[in-house]
Structure 1
Amino acid sequence: MTTATGYAEGVEEGKRKHILITFGRSFLTLNLARLLAAAGHRISVADSAPIAVSRFSKAVSAFHRVSPPKYRPQEYCREIAAIVEENDVDMVIPIHEETDILAMMAGLFPPSCDLFLSDFALEDTLHNKLRYQELLVELGIPALKFRAITGPEDIAALDFDTPFAVKQAYSRGSQHVYKAYPGDTLEQLTFDPTNPWIAQEWLDGDRYCTYSVCQDGVVYAHATYPVSYAIGGSSCLTFEQVDHPGVEAWVADLVARTGFTGHIGLDFIEHPERGLVTIEANPRATSGIMMFSAADRVDRAFFGENDGVIKPQPGRVRMIGIGMALYGWRKDSLPGNNFRRFFRDFRAADDVIAEKGDLGPAVMLIPAYTNILVHSMRYRVGLAGGFMHDHEWDGRQI
C-alpha cells in the first residue's frame, strides 16, 4: 500500500472523490490512477493478482486483492461492493471485461456509488462482435459485410468473394483472428453455443483507434490515434493523438443513439471509396487513456463536469516501453519496419510506465511480469493472454 503524496492538488474543495479502479495490473489503470490523483481525487485499486503495477504508484492510496472475476464472478462482485461500502467509495471505474460482470450484478452497489458503465444489455451488445454489427445494421449505419458461424453448415453457406476475417463474438486482441479466403473450409474452428464465430469482410485502408469517456449519451473526452507499432498488427504499442473530425463525429453519433455511459474504444478502417467503417467496439477502457496528461484534467469527464470535449495534446507520442522492447522491433509490428526506424521511434516516445517522481511501478515491472508469466503457465496461454485471462468474459451468464 502506498500513499498519494504529491497527488493532492487540482480538484476544488468539497469535490474530492474516492474512486475505485479495477484491474490494477493494467497500464491503463496505472495511467488513469495518476490522472485522477493528480486532480486531487483519492484512488484505490483492486485486482486478483497480488503484484499489480499500479499498487506501487504514489497515486494509489489503497490496494485490494479480490477474486478472479472470470472464475469466481459472484464472489468478485460482492467483494467489490463490500470495498465500496466499507471505504465510502464514490465511483467504481472498471477497466477490462469485468465491466460486463459488474453490470450483471449492479444491484449489489449502493445508490451513493456510481458504477461507470451502462446497463448489461447495452454493454453486452457492444462487447459481442456479432451483435455489434447487427446493431449497426439496425441503426442504419454502414457496416462491413458479416456472417454468423455457429456450426459447419454456416461455413458451407459463406458467400464472400474477397478475403475475410474470422473471430469469435467474444474475443480480444490476445486471441486468434484468422484471415480466410473464399472456399476455405475453416476446419480449425471449434464451436461453443455461447460464443459463436463471426466472418467479417477484410477491408484495407487507414486504421484508427479511439477512446472516449461518455455520460448518458454525451462524449466528454475523446482521443483518436492511428495504428502504428502493434503486436501482430493489432494491439497498439505507441499512441499519438490525431485530429479526425469524421471519426469524432461518428463516435458521438453512436454514443448518442445508444445513450451509452462509460468509456469505449472503437476500431476504424477508412477506405478511399467507402469512407469510415468500424471493425468492432470495446465498451471499456482502451489504450487511448494513456495519451492524456494531468494538464488535460480528464477527471472532469468521468463526472460530466466539462462543457467542451477534452482531448489529448496533439504531437505527444507515448509508448508501452516494455511492449515495444519485446515486440516493437519485429517485422510484423509495423509495415516496412527495420531496427533503425524502431530505435529512433523508441527514443522519441514517452513511456507510460516510468514517470518522474513515481518510479515504483517501473521498479516492480520484473516481479509483476514474472507473476503474469506464472499465471500464463498455469492457464496454458501466452504471455499476452495471461495478462488478462482471469478478467475476460465470454458471454456466460452468472
Structure 2
Amino acid sequence: MPCAIDEIRKLGERGHEIIASDTFFSAPGNHSRYATKRFVTPSPRHDTERFVAEIARIVDTEQVDLVLPAFEEVLFLAKHDVPMPRSRRFFPSFHVLETLQDKYRFGALARRLGLNAPEAVVVTSREDLRRAAARFGDYFAKPVNSRGGVDLLTNAGARAGMLTIEDCDVSKASPWLVQPYVEGRDVCTFSIVQHGVVTGHATYIHPREIEHSGGIAFESVDIPECVTIAQRIAAATHYHGQLSFDMIETPRGMVLIECNPRPTAGVHMMSPDMLEAALLDERGRELRVVPPGVRRKYAIALLRDMILHVDEAKEDAKYLFSDAKEVVTDRDDWKPAVYQVFSYGRVIAYRRKLAGKHERKMDLKKAYFEDVSWDGSEPTSAPTSRRAVGSAMQAGGIPR
C-alpha cells in the first residue's frame, strides 16, 4: 500500500528504526532503504493463526515499541488479541474496529451521534437487492465489509453501470448495504488518534481516480466540519490508532458514507514532522491539521490510466506533469517503485485464479487486497501445504 511506503519513509527520515512486514516478497515497502529489517508473514485472511503467531514473534524478538497496521490486518490482530508485551499497539479493541468497519453499523452509530449519514438497509440475496434498489430510485450499494472502491453497484453518477446486480455476490455470509445515492463532491479524511483525542488530521480530495473508485491524485482542503466529525467519532468510541472517513460534500453539509479504521492516502498530506509528532503525542496535547493546498500523486497509476483510458489522457497528463509530489517513486529510495512493477505479478496470478469466471473491472485492486481483507469472518488456520500468497499489507514498527 502506498500509505505504508509513505509511513515507512517518513518515520525513517525522522531517525526511527523501521521493521517492515508484508505477505509477499515483492511488497514495495519491504524494499525501502528505510526498512532496516523486513519480514514475509503468512496471510492474515487465509492463515490467521500463523499470521498472528508470526507478528507476535517479530514484536518480541525485535523488541518493537510501536505497531502500525497499514490495512485490514488490524482487525485480525485485534480479534485474536496478539500478545505484544514490549510494544504499544496503535489500534483499538476489536469491538470498536468491527463497528466502524461494518458499513451498516457505522452509519447507525453516526446517526446516533447526530451526524448526517444516509439511511440504509442490509440485503442477503439478489432479489432483496433488486427490491431495495427499486425502493431508493437512485441508489448506491456495496458489501457491508468492503474497501477501496471495489464492488460498487449504482445507477447514478460516474460509477453507474460498472457493476450489475447479476455480478453481485450477495448472501447471508456476504450481506450488502443499499442506500440512497448522494450527489456531491467526494471528500476524505485521515486522522491520528490518541485514546479518543485527534492529534493529527488531514482533509483531502482526489480529483483523479482509477476506474472512478480510488484516488491517484490528491489535494488537501480546509473543511472545519470534517475535523469536528472525526473528533466526535474518535471521542465517542475512545478510538486509538489511525482513522479515516469517506464523505460527500453537499449544499446541506457533509454526509458520512463510510469509515476505514486504518491509514489511507491522507497520510501523504502530512509532513514527516507532523506524522511523527501526532504519533508520539500520547497525551493528546495538540491538534495538528494539514493546511490546504498540499498535493500528491501516484505517477505509475496516472500513466496506467492514460494508456487504458485514452479519452482521459489529457486530464491525467495535467496531474502527471504537475508539481504535485510523487508518493511511490523517489530517487533517494528507488527500490519500492521497481518492486511496485514486480508486484504486478500478483494481478496476473489473481486473473488466472478467476479464469472462467465473470471478470470484474476492479480486479487490479482486488488482487492486492485479497489476502489481507476482512469480510466479517476468517478461518483460524490453513493447510500446511498451502503457500501463503500475500496482498498489500505492510506494517511499520518503531523498535527501541
1:330 offset after TM fit, Å? 6.3
Choose from 160, 164, 171 the match for 2:146: 171
User: Residue in 2 aligned with 1:297?
Assistant: 274
Residues 359-383 of structure 1 deviation map (CA, whole Å, 9 limit, x = unaligned)? 222233322323x234423543722
Give the TM-score taking structure 1 as reference length. 0.85
User: Residue in 2 aligned with 1:51?
Assistant: 26
Higher mean displacement: 360-369 or 281-290: 360-369
Residues 8-62 of structure 1 deviation map (CA, whole Å, 9 limit, x = unaligned)? xxxxxxxxxxxxxxxxxx2111110111111111101111111111122111100
Residues 158-180 of structure 1 deviation map (CA, whole Å, 9 limit, x = unaligned)? 37343011111011125211114
User: Residue in 1 aligned with 2:302?
Assistant: 324
Residues 207-247 of structure 1 deviation map (CA, whole Å, 9 limit, x = unaligned)? 20111111111111111111310112221111111111111
Cα distance change of structure 1 residues 218 and 249 upon mapping to structure 2, 3 Å threshold: same
What is the distance in 2 between the residues matched to 1:290 and 1:352?
7
Choose from 224, 230, 234 the match for 1:251: 230
1:157 offset after TM fit, Å? 5.4
Cα distance change of structure 1 residues 234 and 152 upon mapping to structure 2, 3 Å threshold: closer
Q: List runs of 5+ in structure 1 lacking aligned partners.
A: 1-25
What is the distance in 2 between the residues matched to 1:367 and 1:330?
19
Residues 124-183 of structure 1 deviation map (CA, whole Å, 9 limit, x = unaligned)? 1111111111222333322112111123564475373430111110111252111148xx
The answer to whether the aligner puts 1:393 opposite 2:393 as a matched pair is: no
The answer to whether the aligner puts 1:344 opposite 2:318 as a matched pair is: yes
Cα distance change of structure 1 residues 72 and 344 upon mapping to structure 2, 3 Å threshold: same
User: Residue in 2 aligned with 1:287?
Assistant: 265
Identity value in percent: 28
Corresponding residue SS for 1:61: strand
Corresponding residue SS for 1:76: helix
Q: Which amino acid in 2 is paired with 1:259?
A: H
1:102 offset after TM fit, Å? 0.4
User: Residue in 2 aligned with 1:200?
Assistant: 179
The answer to whether the aligner puts 1:122 opposite 2:96 as a matched pair is: yes
Corresponding residue SS for 2:375: coil
Corresponding residue SS for 2:198: strand
RMSD of aligned alpha carbons: 2.3
What is the distance in 2 between the residues matched to 1:317 and 1:87?
36
Cα distance change of structure 1 residues 156 and 47 upon mapping to structure 2, 3 Å threshold: closer
Contact 1:43–1:59 (CA under 8 A) maintained in structure 2:
yes
Q: Which amino acid in 2 is paired with 1:317?
A: R
Cα distance change of structure 1 residues 331 and 375 upon mapping to structure 2, 3 Å threshold: closer
User: Residue in 2 aligned with 1:141?
Assistant: 115
The answer to whether the aligner puts 1:360 opposite 2:338 as a matched pair is: no
Q: List runs of 5+ in structure 2 lacking aligned partners.
A: 157-163, 381-400
What is the distance in 2 between the residues matched to 1:129 and 1:180?
20
Q: Which amino acid in 1 is paired with 2:180?
A: E
Q: Which amino acid in 2 is paired with 1:122?
A: V
Choose from 83, 91, 99 the match for 1:109: 83
Cα distance change of structure 1 residues 331 and 160 upon mapping to structure 2, 3 Å threshold: farther
Cα distance change of structure 1 residues 343 and 193 upon mapping to structure 2, 3 Å threshold: same
What is the distance in 2 between the residues matched to 1:64 and 1:255?
32
What is the distance in 2 between the residues matched to 1:298 and 1:117?
16
